Structure 1
Amino acid sequence: MTIFSLFLFPSPPSLFIKSMSLLSFLSLIAFGYMEMTGKNAQYAKFFYTGSSKKSKNSENRKMLSKYGMLVSYTPPFIACLAALAILPRQDLRFNMVSCVLTLHFFKRILEVIFVHKFSGFIMVDTAIAFGVIYFGSTSTMIYAQYLSLGLHEPVVDLKYVGIVVFLTGIIGNFYHHYILSSLRKKGDREYKIPKGGLFDLIICPHYFFELIMFIGVSCISQTTYTLCFTLGDIVTLMGRSHATRKWYVSKFGETFRNDIKAIIPYLF
């Protein structure tokens, strides 16, 4: 017995799932590296909005960020609804995974419509690409869970712990998104240093709680694919938060406190 068998389902006999596990992990690590090195101008608002070199062709291929986010989040939400409708009578763990993923993307869509304040743009092809990526990763997460049905359960059952961790993450993520949305009043386009909640310790607490949320999903799922996706997502968000902190330092200079970290309080 290995340590992995204590916490994970046996890997299903699926070349697709094994390949997707490796691909998701490596691609998300690559995204994290790109975020950290600033090679993300086409989709990160802090870099794209400050770009001075915009061709007429690129101007024609962009949309408001609000609509871009809806394009990105709607496909995985539909995938979750389809899973609940087509495969409604599976075991408890499968239903839990499908429900928390559905709740996650439903929350994101509601936040885009009612909470977030957008002032920038996103490239159309980038929004579509993110929609495809989110759809693919979410569908694969659910499919990997489906293939685990009937396999030996992990020795250590983490699904109930995962629910608590997930709810902590999704509530904390929403709370800090609400704080961000409250910074700017209607018509105000100026960026401000956020305060309140964990913003006094880290500049991206919404990412911090998103990590907690997906750690919760991994604990509920306990499949290799979901674990690989979560580990890759951690690297991606660490890179994005590093780039975000760097932007705040460059914009606000000495006004920005040096002791505020990027995403992990007191550490990073």
Structure 2
Amino acid sequence: MASKPVKLVVRPRGKPIRNLPEETTLALLDSTADLYKRIAASSGTSVHRLRITKGSDGSLIPNSKGVTIDRTGLRDQSKIDVKDLGPQIAWRTVFIVEYLGPLLIHPLIYYLRPYIYRLPLLNQSPSSLQTLSLILICLHFLKREFETIFIHRFSLATMPILNIFKNSAHYWLLAGLNIAYWTYSPSSPTAKPANPLLTYVGIALFAIGELLNLNTHVVLRNLRSSGGTERGIPHGLGFDWVTCPNYLFETMAWVGIWMVNRSWSTGFFTVVAVAQMAAWAKKKERKYRSEFGDRYRRKRYAILPGIY
């Protein structure tokens, strides 16, 4: 049986969109992705720049192959509002740029120590802890880049291009310049003899945290098909403890780095990062409960077992 066609009234929201059609016709069983493609083709605009909402209540119409026009509640002569989100950039590109900052800044400050801190000739060699800190931090962000390129599957293809500066500041300034400048300083705790217990425990926490974090990302990757936006309920190591074990294991790795270099700057970054991840984890828990209902086993703790 053929699906009934519906005519939708198209209205611009915000700044005018050149060549935006006044109306468009689709079948009730067509997907909302078809709606986005049709509006994008008619207006000559990238589909990733468009945000379409229902004129009746302003709710978002998702760009999804799995959601039909009928399911959104749109009917013949329904009004839809189309907004141009402006220039976009791929999420994958944003992640690559974010993590590149520390990978450039840490080796630069490490090797330029004699010039940055004006060290006398006898004190120019970095300590073993400073070298170890450099290795751990670079390994962490190299792993991040590897995951971004080969593992992560993103539910959204793009984000507004100006957000790259805000997102990158966290890594380039806090994880990059902030940690590097104080870690490789001659007055840093890393310039002093190592505490073997703290150092070995820190290395162990770092290694375990990074490996388990990688495993969690593989589990999350396998919930979504290549190019798909579907969501699933994750299961596996850590998911019975907290909502987001990837954030738990990320915290474990950074605590390990902190124990190795004992720098206040690393501690400051770790606290800020954990606070941000905790907010994301709480949001993720609410989303799981809303999306999956009784199929999802609610978690008491979002990121830190027994704490938060």
Q: TM-score under structure 2 normalisation?
A: 0.64
Alignment-derived partner of residue 151 in structure 2 = 115
Identity of aligned residues (%): 25
CA distance in structure 1 between the partners assigned to 2:52 and 2:209 by the alignment: 29
Alignment-derived partner of residue 94 in structure 1 = 130
In structure 2, relative to structure 1, the CA distance for the partners of 1:168 and 1:129 (3 Å cut) is same
Letter paired with 1:94: Q
CA distance in structure 1 between the partners assigned to 2:169 and 2:206 by the alignment: 24
Select the structure that is richer in helix: 1
Q: Which runs of 4+ in 1 moved over 6 A?
A: 48-51
CA distance in structure 1 between the partners assigned to 2:173 and 2:105 by the alignment: 9
CA distance in structure 2 between the partners assigned to 1:154 and 1:54 by the alignment: 62
Matched, 1:254 2:294: yes
Kept after mapping to 1: 8 A contact 2:188/2:263: no
Q: For 1:124-163, what aligned pairs fall within 5 Å after superposition?
A: 124-137=161-174, 138-149=176-187, 153=192, 158-163=198-203
CA distance in structure 2 between the partners assigned to 1:240 and 1:231 by the alignment: 14
In structure 2, relative to structure 1, the CA distance for the partners of 1:154 and 1:86 (3 Å cut) is closer
Q: Which deviates more, 244-253 or 141-150?
A: 141-150
Select the structure that is richer in strand: 2
Letter paired with 1:180: L
Q: Which deviates more, 62-71 or 90-99?
A: 62-71
In structure 2, relative to structure 1, the CA distance for the partners of 1:258 and 1:102 (3 Å cut) is same
**CA-based RMSD:** 2.7
In structure 2, the residue corresponding to 1:63 is in which secondary structure?
strand
Residue-by-residue CA offset, 1:81-136 (whole Å, 9 max, x unaligned): 32454459400111111111111111111111111112312222222222232111
In structure 2, the residue corresponding to 1:187 is in which secondary structure?
coil
Alignment-derived partner of residue 240 in structure 1 = 280
Residue-by-residue CA offset, 1:127-148 (whole Å, 9 max, x unaligned): 2222232111122212111225
Q: Which of 78, 86, 101 lines up with 1:75 in the alignment?
A: 101
Residue-by-residue CA offset, 1:176-230 (whole Å, 9 max, x unaligned): 0111111112233210011111113322000000000110111011122221221
Q: TM-score under structure 1 normalisation?
A: 0.73
Kept after mapping to 2: 8 A contact 1:200/1:260: no
- What count of residue pairs does the alignment treat as equivalent? 219
Bigger Cα Rg:
2
Give the C-alpha shift of residue 265 in structure 1: 3.0
In structure 2, relative to structure 1, the CA distance for the partners of 1:54 and 1:260 (3 Å cut) is farther
Gaps of 5+ in 1: 1-47
Specify which structure has the bigger relative contact order, considering alpha-carbon pairs within 8 angstroms and separated by 6 or more residues: 1
CA distance in structure 1 between the partners assigned to 2:204 and 2:148 by the alignment: 25
Gaps of 5+ in 2: 1-50, 54-58, 61-80, 114-123
Q: For 1:213-228, what aligned pairs fall within 5 Å after superposition?
A: 213-228=253-268
Letter paired with 2:275: V
Give the C-alpha shift of residue 266 in structure 1: 4.9
Kept after mapping to 2: 8 A contact 1:166/1:217: yes
